[in-house]
Amino acid sequence: MKIGILGVGKLGLCFALNLERCGHEVLGIDISESYVQQLNQKTFQSHEPQVNELLSLSKNFRASSHIADVLVNDYDLLFVMVATPSVPGGGYDHYQIERITGALVNFGQRDKPIHLVIGCTVMPGYTAELQKQLHDYNYILSYNPEFIAQGNIIEDQLYPDQVLIGEGNAEAGDMLETVYGTLCKSKPTICRMDPLSAEITKLATNCFLTTKISFANSIGDLATQAGADAEKILAAIGSDSRIGNKYLKYGFGFGGPCFPRDNRALNAYAETQGNEMLIGKATDNVNRQHLQFQLSQILAKHKAEELIIFNEVSYKPGTVIIEESQQLALAVAVAQAGRKVLVREKPLVIELLKEKYGNLFAYEVLS
Ligand SMILES: NC(=O)c1ccc[n+]([C@@H]2O[C@H](COP(=O)([O-])OP(=O)(O)OC[C@H]3O[C@@H](n4cnc5c(N)ncnc54)[C@H](O)[C@@H]3O)[C@@H](O)[C@H]2O)c1
């Protein structure tokens, strides 16, 4: 198929390269001209595993900063993968998607239907709203988010447990199922439904995972206070097949660019429906409470003048992402409590930390 990816950032570029290696002709559209140039010259360097190799091996992937290229060249399927930043109330700002759809509208009504797939994380109800705006221009809209973790995006896209398709109509759903049939090396459960249900499913899945993490940390904190063995307790609970061990470890709270904000977005969406997501709110509160517990443990364990070392403070080892990192939040809290903190990290992370926290920490490059 000829597939256009509108927004080839962290997620979109991986998706584009994975589709290309499965035999599709892929055109990536991005607003940043210098980035487009680097992609076409294959000089772009990503921190995401496998991306640089896939880019250099690619033959049927190219990038452009002109959205018209996907329209005049008859691309069958367009995925929108631009960023959707969080807003203070916990929802998502869709302005980058709107710039894209605004540009599509400016090109007028299409002769044949175009399948436009929203791959970004959006507030429930948003795809239907867009469908209304684009219906007269001959676009069919579907919602199809990704369940991936940064640091493992390429593999997560190839081996998903489930593919979530919020289909605009049955034909659009079939088309997406065919694409994933060519992409996935696992045998994922294909979950087809209407776009609103899929939008809720995406947020609710991450809300469930954060709840599981917060539950494990609550039990772990209690066990630690009581002098019991947190790891053994959680391993036993997780061995019950109704519960499972995944995400049931005692450790840092949940963080990073997806979990906290999806959880909050579901809470915010529930409020628009006159519903209060008590679980989502409790999960968030537990995450904060757990950080305070970890802080009190560290302060009690180390003497006042002792150097306290943090090996890696990115939200997930191996990544360079510090957004909502609980490891970093703990290091900051320890340093702000007046303790000497040494952070060992990759040079890029140290640069980010110096910019944000200056000399709150001492730094050492992780070898
Ligand atoms: N990165 C992840 O791990 C991850 C995981 C799950 C879901 N998501 C969701 O996927 C979406 C994309 O996330 P990301 O991390 O890839 O974002 P990103 O910021 O890395 O990439 C967005 C890209 O879109 C481009 N862009 C912005 N406006 C544009 C326009 N008008 N036309 C063309 N290109 C434009 C930007 O230049 C950038 O390259 C978000 O909704 C995010 O919540 C991301």
Same structural domain for residues 187 and 221?
Answer: no
pLDDT for the residue numbered 367: 78
pLDDT for the residue numbered 361: 97
Tell me whether residue 152 is in a domain: yes
pTM: 0.94
The b-or-e profile of 343-361 (16+ CB within 10 A means b, else e) is bbbbeebbebbeeebeeeb
Tell me whether residue 17 is in a domain: yes
Spatial CB neighbours of 280, under 8 Å, sequence gap ≥ 6: 207, 210, 211, 263, 264, 266, 267, 270
**Domain boundary pick from 193, 209, 243:** 193
pLDDT for the residue numbered 331: 98
Same structural domain for residues 62 and 126?
Answer: yes
Measured CA to CA, the distance from residue 183 to residue 181 in angstroms comes to 6
Helix H or strand E encompassing 77? strand 77-80
Q: How much distance in Å is there from the Cα of 100 to the middle of ligand 1? A: 12
Tell me whether residue 301 is in a domain: no
Residue of the CA atom closest to atom 27 of ligand 1: 82
Measured CA to CA, the distance from residue 164 to residue 171 in angstroms comes to 15
Same structural domain for residues 26 and 136?
Answer: yes
- Cβ 31 under 6 angstroms from ligand 1: yes
Mutate-to-test residue for ligand 1 from 6, 11, 95, 202, highest number of ligand atoms within 8 A of CB: 11
Report the number of distinct structural domains present in the chain: 2
Amino acid at 177: E
Tell me whether residue 351 is in a domain: no
Tell me whether residue 118 is in a domain: yes
- Cβ 100 under 6 angstroms from ligand 1: yes
Q: What is the dihedral of CA 29, 32, 38, 42, to 10 degrees?
A: -20
Same structural domain for residues 187 and 203?
Answer: no
Q: How much distance in Å is there from the Cα of 28 to the middle of ligand 1? A: 12
Same structural domain for residues 99 and 245?
Answer: no
- Cβ 39 under 6 angstroms from ligand 1: no
What 3-state class would DSSP assign to 70? helix
Measured CA to CA, the distance from residue 228 to residue 242 in angstroms comes to 24
**Domain boundary pick from 155, 173, 193:** 193
Same structural domain for residues 189 and 202?
Answer: no
**Domain boundary pick from 193, 215, 233:** 193
Tell me whether residue 322 is in a domain: no
Measured CA to CA, the distance from residue 165 to residue 190 in angstroms comes to 7
- Cβ 150 under 6 angstroms from ligand 1: yes
Q: CATH number of the domain that 215 lies in?
A: 1.10.1040.10
Exposed, middle or buried, 255 (CB in 10 Å: 0-12/13-18/19+)?
buried
- Cβ 32 under 6 angstroms from ligand 1: yes
CA-to-CA dists, residue 347 to 146, 180, 298, 312, angstroms: 29, 37, 26, 11
241: containing domain? 195-252+273-290
Spatial CB neighbours of 33, under 8 Å, sequence gap ≥ 6: 65
The DSSP secondary structure of 190-224, one letter per residue, reads EEEE-HHHHHHHHHHHHHHHHHHHHHHHHHHHHHH
Exposed, middle or buried, 119 (CB in 10 Å: 0-12/13-18/19+)?
buried
pLDDT for the residue numbered 198: 98
Same structural domain for residues 154 and 208?
Answer: no
> Token pair of 299, please?
């302060």
Q: CATH number of the domain that 48 lies in?
A: 3.40.50.720
For residues 16 and 80, the answer to whether their CB atoms sit within 8 Å is no
pLDDT in tens, the chain (367 residues): 999 999 999 999 999 999 999 999 999 999 999 999 999 999 999 989 999 999 999 999 999 999 999 998 889 899 999 999 999 999 999 999 999 999 999 999 999 999 999 999 999 999 999 999 999 999 999 999 999 988 899 999 999 999 999 999 999 999 999 999 999 999 999 999 999 999 999 999 999 999 999 999 999 999 999 999 999 999 999 999 999 999 999 999 999 989 999 999 999 999 999 999 999 999 999 999 999 999 999 999 999 999 999 999 999 887 889 999 999 999 999 999 999 999 999 999 999 999 999 999 999 998 7
pLDDT for the residue numbered 318: 79
| Chain centre distance of CA 345 | 22
> What is the 3-state composition of the chain as percent helix, strand, coil, each rounded to the nearest 5?
50, 15, 35
> Token pair of 183, please?
């992409």
pLDDT for the residue numbered 123: 98
Q: 147 forms bridges with which residues in the sheet? A: none
CA-to-CA dists, residue 128 to 6, 89, 198, 235, 285, angstroms: 19, 22, 11, 43, 32
Same structural domain for residues 74 and 177?
Answer: yes
Same structural domain for residues 47 and 178?
Answer: yes
Which of 136, 143, 140 minimizes the C-alpha distance to 94? Answer: 143
Cα three-residue angle 157-202-238, rounded to 5 degrees: 80
- Cβ 319 under 6 angstroms from ligand 1: no
Same structural domain for residues 246 and 180?
Answer: no
> Token pair of 4, please?
């256009």
Tell me whether residue 317 is in a domain: no
Q: What's the residue count for the chain?
A: 367
Same structural domain for residues 136 and 183?
Answer: yes
Measured CA to CA, the distance from residue 164 to residue 144 in angstroms comes to 6
Measured CA to CA, the distance from residue 208 to residue 162 in angstroms comes to 15
Tell me whether residue 90 is in a domain: yes
Measured CA to CA, the distance from residue 6 to residue 70 in angstroms comes to 9
**Cα dihedral across residues 205, 210, 212, 215: positive or negative:** negative
Cα three-residue angle 138-143-144, rounded to 5 degrees: 130
Same structural domain for residues 166 and 132?
Answer: yes
